[in-house]
Structure 1
């Protein structure tokens, strides 16, 4: 039995040589004679990223409007949108002070009248000087940002009649 184990160990060690440590391979964009071009290969037709279906479903299913969603939208807006659009959505973010083009205010009547899908698509695909945020902002966060933009717009146009009666009494009692 011991001889058999030693024989198997010797055979296993004989199979190890330097080629296992230093294997021939191509660099990412190196010329590959086997493929007659670059070693970077195009994916097969119909191939998609592992999470592409889930992301596509998230993009088409708007989450319900909750306080948590608005808070998440406020956070994401501060990170991704306020440098250009400003904290209040007026289009006077820090980039304008640095010489970049002045983005349209979210309070512009054209954008107030735009549907939510317009904002989602602009965040996803970009528009004008704005580039796409699809790779940086997941679909659920894009919907959260859209909800927060709507809250910003409403904050400028709201009247006391828009406040629920229970909250209205509290506001009227404030000095």
Structure 2
């Protein structure tokens, strides 16, 4: 037992002596047991490369290559997902200001899609009517935004899109689960919900107003 403790203490001293200075400055490279692919053989873009006949490392796509992304059809024209455009970011290009209006054409099909996606992703917390009385409130989650609050009604469409994408406070972001077009569809449907609560009968056409008062 005495020899075991002696060997154990010696091993501890050796380990501390080798790895105990981790984080200090040294000109000697550290001992790296598992490099975890920190350094890999790679080619820098646009650098010469003798492997290919044309001598360059960045090769054009093979003929017949199928693109992975399709353009998003906006009121201003088609936009690709990687472009710095309001439809992708919810902001004005090159700034931190949110866009005021939905960049997608607001149609009946877009609103129906927004209602469907809202009921799947948003209604559990915000409720089917957007008043914050979803199932999570019954389970004890009391801090849920009422989408009819004045501050949310006055938000630019781009800010609501940004909140759906990246979350806010206790709300997680849904950019990974909801495509860009569906996020804007949800924004459009949220505006419909708000209008249904905060609109006035005088704003309806006369024929619809007469049906409302029956």
**After TM superposition, is the score higher than 0.5?**
yes
Map 1:1-175 → 2, pairs under 5 A: 37-39=35-37, 50-51=68-69, 54-56=80-82, 58-59=87-88, 62-172=103-213, 174=214
Give 5+ residue unaligned stretches, structure 2. Answer: 1-33, 46-67, 71-78, 90-101
Aligned residues: 136
Whether the 8 Å CA contact 1:160–1:168 is kept in 2: the answer is yes
Q: What are the Cα deviations for residues 127-174 of structure 1, in whole angstroms up to 9, with x where unaligned?
A: 0011110010011111110011111111111111111234334434x3
Give 5+ residue unaligned stretches, structure 1. Answer: 1-35
CA shift in 2, pair 1:154/1:37, >3 Å: same
Runs of 4+ in 1 over 3 A off after TM superposition: 39-46, 50-53, 169-172
Q: Distance in 2 between matches of 1:96 and 1:40?
A: 46
The residue aligned with 2:13 is: none
TM-score normalised to the size of structure 1?
Answer: 0.67
TM-score normalised to the size of structure 2?
Answer: 0.55
3-state secondary structure, aligned to 1:102: coil
Q: What are the Cα deviations for residues 55-78 of structure 1, in whole angstroms up to 9, with x where unaligned?
A: 345425821111111111110000
3-state secondary structure, aligned to 1:168: helix
Q: Distance in 2 between matches of 1:144 and 1:116?
A: 11
Q: Distance in 2 between matches of 1:123 and 1:108?
A: 17
Structure showing the higher helix proportion among its residues? 1
The residue aligned with 1:13 is: none
| Backbone CA RMSD of aligned residues | 3.0
How far did 1:45 drift? 8.6
